[in-house]
């Protein structure tokens, strides 16, 4: 009797035990139209696995002629289902993704548009795939962009802060170094590097505050007047918009974004601190040089935006357009399609300019 009460007391006192037991729910036998599974039971324990196959003219909604599903706390994952043999199962795109189907599969003739991860781009400008007779017509490949950067440089006595490790960084990515205690960079304790056209800007040099011989490493410090350094750094597409006497503030022209430090200071040795750069945030499309669209002169498109250019040829009463997408200074043009197909992402990329 005492042992029984003790067991009840331990369960009540430790709610985690009750939660673990209640979470591991069994699964009822799944409903599978057009197929059968083994073993055939009325219920399955948590973590149990069953295999299933489908009747002629159908196939599992996973790769292979048979599928499997596991009981996870009262639910089957993935849900066993048989689909038309002309349908397609989802694609796995390394370094990319696409909109998932609500059914978990795609009908014959369905099209999907693949989006590449940051730092990657479509190989041969192929971004779409179509389900044809149970197989995908092509599988878009996301390859590393020539403008992305790899590992940032390893700086002695410094560490990157606020960012986890990754193999590829998109263009304009910024990373911040911090010198370890007892060390300092010439500019400051921290310095930001930027990925520009496939290369990282220069990192800091972390120097020790003293040496065994009693010498001292001189760290440059800002002086009171910027006039000491003479002519300010020249920034293409940018201008000095504020002079505080101790620093200069830069601003980029329209359709350009500032990359790097906004403020520039004059150091005691007569040199300027790192100057920013102004990177274009728009694309230009000269329609006079494109044979498949109407000639309307040069079109300007803001970075990250699209514009539909009217095609020179039409189909019956329907006007067709070529979608021009501006991404980091480059334009991708699609084939000529109806506006509805463009909106659904069903038009293949034609060329990159």
pLDDT in tens, 99-140: 888 788 899 999 888 999 988 988 888 888 999 999 998 888
- In this structure, the answer to whether residues 157 and 212 fall within a common structural domain is yes
Flag whether pLDDT at 89 surpasses 60: yes
Choose the final residue of a domain: 197, 216, 235: 216
Residues spanned by the domain of 264: 220-280
Position 223 scores a pLDDT of: 62
| 289 and 346 housed in the same domain | yes
Q: Does residue 177 share a domain with residue 232?
A: no
Number of structural domains found in the chain = 5
Structure tokens at 56: 């002629």
The domain that contains 252 carries what CATH number? Answer: 2.10.70.10
Whether 65 is covered by a domain: the verdict is yes
Closest to 310 (Cα-Cα) out of 338, 277, 280: 338
Taking alpha carbons only, the member of 108, 13, 26 closest to residue 59 is: 108
Q: 162 and 132, same structural domain?
A: no
User: Which of 216, 232, 255 lies at the terminal end of a domain, its last residue?
Assistant: 216
- The average confidence (pLDDT) of the chain is 80
Model pLDDT, residue 8? 38
Would strands 247-252 and 174-179 be described as parallel, antiparallel, or unpaired?
A: unpaired
In a domain, 234, yes or no: yes
Residue 176 lies in a domain: yes
> What pLDDT is attached to residue 279?
80
Domain-embedded: residue 12:
no
Stronger pLDDT, 305 or 22, i.e. the higher one: 305
Share of the chain above pLDDT 70, in %: 86
Same structural domain for residues 286 and 326?
Answer: yes
Q: Degrees (nearest 5) of the Cα angle 8, 14, 17? A: 90
- Banded pLDDT at 87 (limits 50, 70, 90): very high
pLDDT digits (tens, 9 = 90+) for 295-336: 888 888 887 788 889 888 776 667 888 888 888 778 888 888
In a domain, 248, yes or no: yes
Mean pLDDT of 224-245: 85
The answer on pLDDT for 12 being more than 70 is no
pLDDT higher than 70, residue 215: no
**pTM of model > 0.85:** no
Task: Report the distance separating Cα 97 and Cα 117, nearest Å.
Answer: 8
The answer to whether position 260 is within a domain reads: yes
* Position 58 confidence tier, pLDDT thresholds 50, 70, 90: very high
249 domain-assigned = yes
169 & 183 share domain: yes
Judged against a pLDDT cut of 70, whether residue 210 lies above it is answered with no
Residue 11 lies in a domain: no
Q: Give me the count of residues in the chain.
A: 353
- Is the pLDDT at 339 greater than 60, yes or no? yes
Where residue 298 falls (left for φ over 0; alpha for ψ -120 to 50; beta otherwise) is beta
Using pLDDT thresholds of 50, 70 and 90, give the confidence band for residue 43.
Answer: confident
Same domain, 275 and 333: no
């Amino acid at each position: 009797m005492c042992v029984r009460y003790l067991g009840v007391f331990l369960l009540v006192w430790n709610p985690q035990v009750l939660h673990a037991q209640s979470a591991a729910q069994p699964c009822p036998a799944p409903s599978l139209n057009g197929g059968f599974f083994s073993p055939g039971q009325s219920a399955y324990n948590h973590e149990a696995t069953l295999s299933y196959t489908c009747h002629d003219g159908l196939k599992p909604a996973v790769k292979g002629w048979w599928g499997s599903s596991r009981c996870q706390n009262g639910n089957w994952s993935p849900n066993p289902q048989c689909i038309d043999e002309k349908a397609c199962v989802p694609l796995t795109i390394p370094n990319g993704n696409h909109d998932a189907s609500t059914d978990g599969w795609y009908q014959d003739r369905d099209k999907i548009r693949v989006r590449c991860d940051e730092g990657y781009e479509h190989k041969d400008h192929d971004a779409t795939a179509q389900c044809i007779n149970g197989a995908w017509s092509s599988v878009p490949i996301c390859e590393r962009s020539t403008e992305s950067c790899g590992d940032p440089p390893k700086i002695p006595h410094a560490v990157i802060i606020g960012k986890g490790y990754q193999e590829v960084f998109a263009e304009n990515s910024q990373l911040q170094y911090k010198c370890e205690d007892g060390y300092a960079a010439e500019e400051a304790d921290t310095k930001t590097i930027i990925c520009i056209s496939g290369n990282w800007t220069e990192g800091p040099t972390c120097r020790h505050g003293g040496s065994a011989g009693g010498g001292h490493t001189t760290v440059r410090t800002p002086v009171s007047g910027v006039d000491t350094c003479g002519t300010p750094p020249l920034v293409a597409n940018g201008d000095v918009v504020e002079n505080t006497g101790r620093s200069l503030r830069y601003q980029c022209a329209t359709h350009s974004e500032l990359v790097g430090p906004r403020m520039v200071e004059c150091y005691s040795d007569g040199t300027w601190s790192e100057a920013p750069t102004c990177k274009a945030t728009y694309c230009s499309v000269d329609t006079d040089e494109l044979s498949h669209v109407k000639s309307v002169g040069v079109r300007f498109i803001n970075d990250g935006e699209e514009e539909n250019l009217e095609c020179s040829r039409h189909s019956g009463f329907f006007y067709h357009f070529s979608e021009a997408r501006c991404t980091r200074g480059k334009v991708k043009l699609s084939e000529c399609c109806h506006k509805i197909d463009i909106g659904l992402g069903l038009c293949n990329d034609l060329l990159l300019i």
